[in-house]
Structure 1
C-alpha cells in the first residue's frame, strides 16, 4: 500500500482560508483564494499569539458601535473624509451631507460606518486599477466587499423594523449600494456579464421606491438636498431642449419597437437632454435604470435584439461621467457586455442611431 504523502501544516495563512479549512497560498497583501472569491483577506498580526494558534478576528465583523478598526480602516476613513465624500454627488448640499451629516449619524448606526468605509475602499480600488497596481486594487476591493457584507444584514434588519426615524439611514444606504455596485464592477477580476449588469440596474429601483414612499415623510429634506428635483418622470426641461435636432435619439424608429421599448427610448432622449442642460448632473445617468419600463427590462433579460440595441444607447449617456469615480468606465463595461453576449449567442443587433451622431 503506498504511503500517504505528508503535508506540513501552516498556521500563518489568512483568516478566510483557515475558516474554510483550505490551504492558503499566503500571497500578500491578498492571497489568490481571496482574490478569486472576492473575500476579505486578513492575516494574523506578526508575533501575536493568534499567529500561532487561531485566525485573527476581523476587527470590523461584529458591527456594534464599539467595534475597533485596524490601520487600513483608518486609511479608508481618511480617504472618505477628504476625497470620497466630495466626489459622490455634485451639488454643494450633497457634499455637505456626505462629508458632515452622514459621519455624524454614523456614530449611532454602524450600518453607515461600514457603508462609508466600503465606499472609500472601492474608491481606492478604482484608483489603484487606473494606476495598474493590481495588488493594492485587490486589497482595497476585498476590504470594501467585506464592509459591504457586514452592513447588508444590518440594512435588512432596519428594513424589517420599519421605524420612520430611521428612514434617512435606510435611504442613504440604498444609494450607497448603487454606488458600490457600479464601483465594484470596475475593480473586479473579470468584467460583469450582461445579466449581472441587469441585476445591478435593479438596485436603482430601491432608492426610487424609498423616495416615493417617504417623500413627504421624515427624509423629505434630505432627499431634496441630495436630489434637488429627485427623479421626476421627466426632467424639468423645455420641450425645445428635448426635441433639439442635435439629440441623436430623435427619429429612432424600428418595426420591432413596441410600447415599452418606445418608452425606454424616450427616457434616453430625456437623459441626453438633461446632460446637455447640466453636464455635471448625475441624474442624467440615474433616470434610465431607475425608471425603465418593466416590459423593456424583461426584454433585456430575454436578450431580445431591439431591447439590447436600445440599452446600448444608454452607454452614450454614461460616457460623459468619467470624472465620477464610481461611474467612470461604465460606458465601455456596458457596451462590451452587450457585444460579448451578442457574439456568444449569435445575435445581430439593429442599428438605431448613426454612430457619428453619438
Structure 2
C-alpha cells in the first residue's frame, strides 16, 4: 500500500512510494536478501527491494485489486516475488507459508493507498463521488453501514477517537438527522452533511470532511488494531539484525509506532525517586534513529502526499519477542453499543 495523508492534497500525483530512499537506507537491502513488504499497494517498495538484489520479497495486501494488479510483476520476477492476499497483521504467518526464512527486513507503509483514493468507486475520497464504502478488503461492514446503522453516540466517539475531530458530536447529530430522511449511500451525501456543520472548504485549509472520512475509514478497516498486531508479528518474525521500517501518515499511527520502538528499545527504567527501580525485560530492538525521518522539501514539492509522512526504524536484537499491550501504545479502546438513535 502506498500510503497517503487524508487531506488528499495533490490527488493527481503519481503513485510514488514516499520516503523511498530513506526506507532503503533503513533496510539496507543486500544481494540475496529476504524481505517482507506488508503493504504492497502499487509495489513501489517491493520493486526497489527487487532492484537492489533481493532474492525474495513476500508482498502482502488486503486489497484484492492490488494483488491482481501485481500478478504481472510476480510472473516477471520468476520466483523472487510472492504476492499474498491477506492482512499484514499476520505477516509472520504469511512469511512462513511462503518459505521466507530468515527475513532480513520488514517494511510497512500505513494508511489508505493512492490507488484507493483515486478510484471513486472505492468510496475513500471526499473529492470524488462514489459509493460510501471504504473497505480495503472489499468485505465486511462498509462506511455506509457505520453512518446509517450505528448509534449516534457511537458515531461521535468514532470521529473523536480515530479522527481527532473536535466537532464530533455536532457532526454525528447531523448524520443521524440526515439519515432519518434518507440513507447516506454516497460519499457526496456524507460530505454535504459535514459541510452543513463545518462550512465549505476554504483556500489553503484542509477539507472539513478530512477527519470524519479518516475516522470512519480507520474504524471500518480496524487499521490501528492491524498496525499493533503487525508490529508484534514483525517482532516475532525478525531475527537478530533484522530491520523494521514503518512509514506513517498521521499522529495516531505515528504515536503507536513511536511508543513501540521506544518501549522495545528501552534499556533504562523510567522511574522516580518515589518508586523502586524496575527491572526491564531485554530490549528486542535497537533504535537506529531516535526520532522520525521526514521527507525533504524537494520530495514534498514533487509529491504533496508525502508532506505528513514519518519514517521510524529499528534493528532486531536476540531478545525473545514478548506480548504487546496495544492500549499502552495508544490504541483507542472502543466497543460499539447495541443501541440505535
TM-score interval, normalised by the smaller of the two chains = under 0.3
* Bigger strand share: 2
Please give the TM-score of this superposition, normalised by the length of structure 2.
0.28
| TM-score of the two chains, using structure 1 as the length reference | 0.27
Richer in helix (by share): 1
Greater RCO (CA < 8 Å, at least 6 residues apart): 2
